[in-house]
Chains A and B, each alone.
Chain A
Amino acid sequence: MEHGHAVSNPKTDPGDFVAEEKRIEKAQPNYIAVFVILGVLTAIEVGITTLFPDKTVGTVPILLFLTVAKGLLVILFYMHLKFDNRIYSIFFGAGILALAVPFVISMIFLMSPPQLISARGGTEGGGGGGEARPTPNPNAGPPITVKIGATEFQFTPDALTANSGQVVRVELTNTGSVEHNFVVADKPASQDPQPWVTRDGKLIAKAQAGTTGKGGFTAPASGDYVFYCNVPGHAEAGMHGIFSVK
């Protein structure tokens, strides 16, 4: 069983994924210059955003282009992909170009095309549609914290007040034996006195039995809104109250 000659080393595959050069000559790009360029590009990006604060579609492609340029600098120089074996590029390229980018783009188009464009435009086109959006109110006052107790099946207190546009932080303390939550209807009580039937509203906070849940929201336009617990049956049993916005 003794054999005199040494292991014959497996050779790299020609015509396969060729290992282009065994020891790729270590190129020494000027990393500091790359850093300076990255910094300048970032400054340009921030500059564009500052100069054109009201988003128009025009700036988005420029910003995306600059981002791609920065990304390429990092990949090609800092991660050495420019000088390294192309198998690495194949994997990374497959990750980014073949899958990640089309995935993100198709998700956006499949789920919400209009919002992307008007995102910074304020309340218009913002998702929900048709609900009473709070108008920014400089006189709304500082954020307030309301403490609400929840048990089977009531809220204490069952009447709350805030100014329109005021940030309301909610601490929901559940002293009951099952989960409870705190939902504020989107439509005023005058339009929909029983929002739990339509499940209208936003979930603000919830709490398991014996715990405290936190949440917050901005008070909508003036009016009375119903708040309730959306665990099935709870609101019907009496877990609701009125949130008055001045």
Chain B
Amino acid sequence: MATNVMTLPRTAEPTGLWSWITTVDHKRLGIMYLVTAVAFFVIGGIEALLIRTQLATPNGTVLNPDVYNQIFTMHGTTMVFLAVMPLNSGFGNYIVPLMIGARDMAFPRLNAFGYWLYLVGGLLLYSSFFLGGAPNAGWFGYAPLTERAFNLGHGIDFWVLSLQLLGISSLAGGLNFIVTILNMRAPGLTINRLPLFVWGTLVTSLLIIFAIPSITVALILLLFDRYFGTMFYLPAAQGDPLLWQHLFWFFGHPEVYIMIMPAFGIISEVLATYSRKPIFGYAAMAFAFAGISFVSFTVWAHHMFATGISPVADVVFAGTSFLVAVPTGIKIFNWLGTIWKGSIHITTAFLFAAGFIGQFTIGGLGGVMLATVPVDWQITDTYFVVGHFHYTLFAGAVLGLFAGLYHWFPKMTGRFLNERLGQAHFWLTMVGMTMVFLTMHYVGVLGMPRRIYTYAAGQGWDLWNLLETVGAFTVALGVFIMLINIITALRKPKTAENDPWDGQTLEWATSSPPPAYNFATMIPVNSPRPLWDAKYGAHSENVEQPKKIDLSGGGKAHIHLPNPSIWPLLLSLALAVFAVGVIFGPQTGWIVAPIGVLGIFVTFIGWLAQPASS
């Protein structure tokens, strides 16, 4: 019954490079996000391997200190802004409109603009390697190390301007997701019936629009310090470097949840689907999303316990940090409740989701330890912290994204990923990540500081570091197998039916891959899992008779599909020209910057003058 999907006869779907450059289709943009983000994920991974190779043995000589600083900065910045966040945007773009039964995002061109600006921002950041050296002050960019007096090259300028562009891109995406989710739900899909992945994307978008402005301001002040001689972060002129830390972490801590909430959502969908049960405690899960996102704005100073903020502040922020454990714990137990007594279908996606629960719990416990002020004073700035946040971001966000990949790949491409290769990927990832990140906790307690490019032998760190390096290469092998798996799958014929996993949500109610208009008919929605209800009948009482709603228009309306547009790309390029002008500063660049401003103005007018849909 569920596979009985009505399709409209298609006009030839546009193909060719131009159609991809001008596309505003959320599915194409989703794929573009995913492909670009995977490329950056691989680059960031290679940087991680370089770091681990350098640290494999004491007194390593693979990288010199200068290059090491650039590599670890770029590893962090890449993974946060160019890999995990865009991977979330990619899945969100592709899946959210399908899950809520919408035809596209609310603002298709804004969506395209978000993607192009992300690509342009990423390329701008990486061009720094060829234009005088990459940024080298860490992804957190602590002032005053980033000030001109201590950092003469252009690396930091590239970092500042790229992050501004990526911030605008994220804001565009966040605004779009919120309006889409609030305004474009299928009939019957009320807020309290949203699938949890949609919930995750909604709260993530809220975090984005409230957190990004803070780093925008922090970066603007830094830019002014570097170019106009202001002294916001310069203690020599009464400025205060702590201002940077406050502004940065007011963004930075919600950012952690921006990266991980969509993964929470993916895990919820995956576990429910393969356990063939509804998610356990749906309402509690939804409130936990909201709870975590609110609390995340009140904990930023736990990154600053060792900076000498007052003891009262230490206590308050420790308290709010402990509070995070409550909604997170609710989530962990509800996931376990979802699997409990389910008729479990063990697939790669399920394995990654189950692995996520165990590994992420370790990360969460490390967080509780770090939120304890006296413990934090002992182990802050050691590898314990590195181990902790990799347990939340790798074991959390990345495992969740892997689960999403195996889960939705058939929907996106019409093809299955190979299960045996997938399980090899899973086991290599599990073993590898434990070797890397669990050992980091030990070596951190043994006193190994973060951010050092080498260390002397005989401090009890050697064995652990070697293990970590071996583990890193194990993880890398897993990712390599995943890439092989994807490439071989794409060369095979389309064999996936519309609903290969016996899914519960609306994206499985259309063809694989879905047509440009997503749905021709819409099944009624009476719960968070409308497709399951349609297939097996609902358990709840107030169920209407399944009847299909025709969206194809029939006599009166035609399907409004948004027009393709080149303006989002052009506007992104104009912004990049402006950014390049600012980077190269007073002498040369400030001739280029006005050209960028003019370009922004012209492309913006062009955008406004072009009709969104015909």
Q: Contact residues of A with B, CB < 8 Å?
A: 1-8, 10-11, 13, 15-17, 87, 94-95, 98-99, 102-103, 107, 109-111, 127-128, 179, 181, 183, 199, 201-203, 205-206, 208, 211, 213, 215, 230-231
With both beta carbons as reference points, the residue of chain A lying nearest to B521 in the complex is identified as: A3
Give me 11 A-to-B residue pairs in the complex whose CB atoms sit less than 8 angstroms apart, sorted by A's number: A1-B8, A3-B553, A3-B555, A5-B550, A7-B556, A11-B187, A110-B313, A179-B152, A202-B238, A203-B234, A215-B229
In the complex the two chains form, is B236's CB within 8 Å of A203's CB?
Answer: yes
> Separation in Å of the B542 CB from the closest CB of chain A?
12
B224: which A residues are within 8 A, CB to CB? Answer: none
B240: which A residues are within 8 A, CB to CB? Answer: 111
In the complex the two chains form, is A17's CB within 8 Å of B182's CB?
Answer: yes
> Separation in Å of the A56 CB from the closest CB of chain B?
26
Given contact pairs A15-B190, A111-B242, a sample of 14 additional A-B residue pairs in the complex whose CB atoms are under 8 Å apart: A1-B6, A1-B8, A1-B552, A6-B553, A8-B187, A11-B187, A13-B190, A17-B182, A99-B297, A103-B214, A110-B242, A110-B313, A179-B149, A203-B236
A99: which B residues are within 8 A, CB to CB? Answer: 210, 297
| Number of interchain pairs (Cβ within 8 Å) | 97
Closest 7 CB pairs of A and B: A3-B554, A6-B556, A16-B190, A203-B237, A10-B187, A13-B190, A3-B550
In the complex the two chains form, is B238's CB within 8 Å of A94's CB?
Answer: no
Given contacts A8-B549, A110-B313, whether A201 and B152 have CB atoms under 8 Å apart is: no
A183 interface neighbour in B236, B243, B309, Cβ under 8 Å: B236
With both beta carbons as reference points, the residue of chain B lying nearest to A201 in the complex is identified as: B236
In the complex the two chains form, is A111's CB within 8 Å of B243's CB?
Answer: yes
B238 interface neighbour in A15, A127, A211, Cβ under 8 Å: A127
> Separation in Å of the A140 CB from the closest CB of chain B?
22
In the complex the two chains form, is B587's CB within 8 Å of A230's CB?
Answer: no
A16: which B residues are within 8 A, CB to CB? Answer: 190-192
Number of interface residues of B (CB under 8 A): 46
> Separation in Å of the A110 CB from the closest CB of chain B?
6
B452 on interface, CB distance cutoff 8 Å: no
> Separation in Å of the A200 CB from the closest CB of chain B?
8
With both beta carbons as reference points, the residue of chain B lying nearest to A103 in the complex is identified as: B250
Q: How far is the CA of A175 from the CA of B8 in the complex (A)?
A: 73
In the complex the two chains form, is B190's CB within 8 Å of A128's CB?
Answer: no
Q: How far is the CA of A211 from the CA of B294 in the complex (A)?
A: 48
B186 on interface, CB distance cutoff 8 Å: yes
> Separation in Å of the B168 CB from the closest CB of chain A?
18
A15: which B residues are within 8 A, CB to CB? Answer: 190
Interface string of B188-227 (1 = CB under 8 A from A): 0011100000000000001000100010000000000000
- Would you call the interface of chain A mostly helix, strand, loop, or mixed? loop
Q: How far is the CA of A208 from the CA of B242 in the complex (A)?
A: 27
B297: which A residues are within 8 A, CB to CB? Answer: 98-99, 103
Chain B 220-270 residues near chain A, CB threshold 8 A: 229, 231, 234, 236-238, 240, 242-243, 246, 250
> Separation in Å of the B300 CB from the closest CB of chain A?
9
Chain B 391-430 residues near chain A, CB threshold 8 A: none
In the complex the two chains form, is B231's CB within 8 Å of A203's CB?
Answer: yes
In the complex the two chains form, is A205's CB within 8 Å of B229's CB?
Answer: yes
Q: Contact residues of B with A, CB < 8 Å?
A: 6, 8-9, 148-149, 152, 182, 185-187, 190-192, 206, 210, 214, 229, 231, 234, 236-238, 240, 242-243, 246, 250, 294, 297-298, 301, 309-310, 313, 549-557, 585-587
In the complex the two chains form, is B586's CB within 8 Å of A211's CB?
Answer: yes
Q: How far is the CA of A124 from the CA of B548 in the complex (A)?
A: 75
A205: which B residues are within 8 A, CB to CB? Answer: 229
With both beta carbons as reference points, the residue of chain B lying nearest to A14 in the complex is identified as: B190
B549: which A residues are within 8 A, CB to CB? Answer: 8
B191 interface neighbour in A1, A13, A128, A211, Cβ under 8 Å: A13
With both beta carbons as reference points, the residue of chain B lying nearest to A3 in the complex is identified as: B554
Given contacts A1-B552, A3-B550, whether A202 and B236 have CB atoms under 8 Å apart is: yes
A1: which B residues are within 8 A, CB to CB? Answer: 6, 8-9, 552
B190: which A residues are within 8 A, CB to CB? Answer: 13, 15-16
B556: which A residues are within 8 A, CB to CB? Answer: 6-7
Q: How far is the CA of A170 from the CA of B243 in the complex (A)?
A: 28
B294: which A residues are within 8 A, CB to CB? Answer: 98
Q: How far is the CA of A230 from the CA of B149 in the complex (A)?
A: 8
A202: which B residues are within 8 A, CB to CB? Answer: 236-238
Q: How far is the CA of A99 from the CA of B211 in the complex (A)?
A: 10
B585: which A residues are within 8 A, CB to CB? Answer: 208
With both beta carbons as reference points, the residue of chain A lying nearest to B550 in the complex is identified as: A3
| Listed residue (B192, B214, B551, B555) with the most chain A CB atoms within 10 angstroms of its CB | B555
A6: which B residues are within 8 A, CB to CB? Answer: 553-557
A13: which B residues are within 8 A, CB to CB? Answer: 185, 190-191
A231: which B residues are within 8 A, CB to CB? Answer: 149
In the complex the two chains form, is B237's CB within 8 Å of A87's CB?
Answer: no
A128: which B residues are within 8 A, CB to CB? Answer: 238
A4 interface neighbour in B6, B236, B554, B557, Cβ under 8 Å: B554
In the complex the two chains form, is B554's CB within 8 Å of A213's CB?
Answer: no
Q: How far is the CA of A206 from the CA of B206 in the complex (A)?
A: 41
Q: How far is the CA of A94 from the CA of B240 in the complex (A)?
A: 29
A17: which B residues are within 8 A, CB to CB? Answer: 182, 191
Q: How far is the CA of A183 from the CA of B182 in the complex (A)?
A: 55
In the complex the two chains form, is A110's CB within 8 Å of B301's CB?
Answer: yes
A181: which B residues are within 8 A, CB to CB? Answer: 149
Given contacts A6-B555, A8-B187, A87-B182, whether A110 and B246 have CB atoms under 8 Å apart is: yes
A206 interface neighbour in B214, B229, B550, Cβ under 8 Å: B229
B186: which A residues are within 8 A, CB to CB? Answer: 10
In the complex the two chains form, is A5's CB within 8 Å of B554's CB?
Answer: yes
